[in-house]
Amino acid sequence: MRRKRQYDFLPRGVVCGTLTVGLLCGAWTWAQAQPGQQLTEPVYRVSNAKVDGNAQVAPHPLETALAMARDGLRNIQENVHDYTAVMAKRERVDGELSDYEYIFTKIRNEKTANGRVVVPFSIYMYFLKPESFKGREVIYVRGQNDDKMIAHESPNSMLSKFGSIWLNPHGAMAMKGQRYPITEAGIETLIVRLIEKGTADLQRGECDVKFYQNAKVQGRKCTMLEVTHPQQREYFEFHVARIFIDDELNVPIRYSAWTWPDEPGRKLSDRELIEEYTYTQLKLNVGLTDADFDPKNPQYNF
């Protein structure tokens, strides 16, 4: 009889998003609708301007957005210890946009005390769909196991004969088909990277920022920030980026970015999509322990 697993409760049709890992955890498709989103008209918009008659540059449009991001980062660092989510992602790698990947994920945020790490960043992934990939698992705990991740393939895959394999998360096998290593996964890292990009943009102009209230992601009420670089420059990483912040949880649950269209004025589509990550069924502070990130856990199949 098949052992009942702790993620068997997950319903069919869930939609989600993450940064994930390489060869053993490569791209795969689940033919369902993409994560939903609804927008209203912007309630606040800022762009480059000068103060009338004084030739004084107004505050950079990203300052408000950065203040929100830093507040969200403080909230996570102070109040969010761990979480579980169903996640979906799409990434463009070597010019090719992957299909959606769907993964049940457990994450424990790194915590420090007196300058030392007392809880290391930890992540567990269980791939949900399609059936040919269902059962693929990955674990990574920063600073442990020679800083390697362990992964095994789905029982339905021919690669399962290799069993569990320890991999360098930055190595060629782990990074095959991926924009980022598993070490970059999670909501906290997403906010840190957004702050880094926004801070760099403060040194430049050509930026437009809109704020939308009552945006929806899978029924969750959010505030959406849309950042646009109208002119293509070599130092800008994207043309348009959208960040959805869950109003109740005060954390970002969706991020997507597009490059510039080939034809000016053409509506953005998958043709321009660079990357997209969505977190659904997000549950904060569920009390994850070392056992949740131990390959010897009897509920796992490492």
The residue ranking higher by pLDDT, 212 or 3, is 212
Domain 23-293 in CATH: superfamily?
Answer: Lipoprotein localisation LolA/LolB/LppX (2.50.20.10)
- Contact of 208 with 228, CB cutoff 8 Å: yes
AA identity, residue 237: E
Rounded to an integer, the average pLDDT of 48-62 is 54
Strand stretches in the chain, DSSP E: 37-38, 42-47, 50-51, 56-57, 82-93, 96-97, 101-108, 111-113, 116-119, 122-127, 137-141, 149-152, 165-167, 208-217, 220-228, 240-246, 252-258, 273-284
Report the chain's terminal Cα–Cα distance, integer Å.
18
The string over 158-197, giving b where at least 16 C-beta atoms fall within 10 Å of a residue's C-beta and e elsewhere, is eebeeebbebebeeeebbebbebbbbebbbbbbbbebbeb
The residue ranking higher by pLDDT, 2 or 249, is 249
Measure the CA–CA gap between 179 and 169, rounded to whole angstroms.
12
Non-local (6+) Cβ contacts of 104 within 8 A are: 7, 10, 16, 84, 85, 86, 87, 125, 126, 127, 128
Q: What pLDDT score does 256 carry?
A: 97
Interval 38-51: pLDDT, tens: 444 443 333 443 44
Q: Name the residue with tokens 């989600």.
A: 16
Q: What pLDDT score does 44 carry?
A: 37
- Token digits for 111? 């915590």
Q: Where are the domains of the chain?
A: 23-293
HSE (CB half, 13 Å, CA atoms) of 11?
A: 5
Is it the case that residue 32 has pLDDT exceeding 50? no
Q: What pLDDT score does 56 carry?
A: 55
Alpha-carbon torsion angle 129, 132, 134, 139, nearest 10:
-110
- CA-nearest of 22, 28, 175 to 100 is 28
Measure the CA–CA gap between 101 and 14, rounded to whole angstroms.
11
Phi, psi dihedral angles at 83 (to 5 degrees): -165, 160
Cα angle 12, 13, 14; round to 5? 100
Q: Could you give the 3-state DSSP secondary structure of residue 233?
A: coil
- CA-nearest of 204, 253, 252 to 232 is 204
The residue ranking higher by pLDDT, 107 or 230, is 107
Is it the case that residue 15 has pLDDT exceeding 50? no
Non-local (6+) Cβ contacts of 27 within 8 A are: 98, 99, 101, 177
DSSP lists the bridge partners of residue 150 as: 139, 166
Interval 220-279: pLDDT, tens: 999 999 999 999 999 899 999 999 999 998 889 999 999 999 887 788 999 999 999 999
- CA-nearest of 239, 241, 245 to 224 is 245
Q: Is the peptide bond before 130 cis (omega within 30 degrees of 0)?
A: yes
Neighbours of 1 (CB within 10 A): 3
Is it the case that residue 35 has pLDDT exceeding 70? no
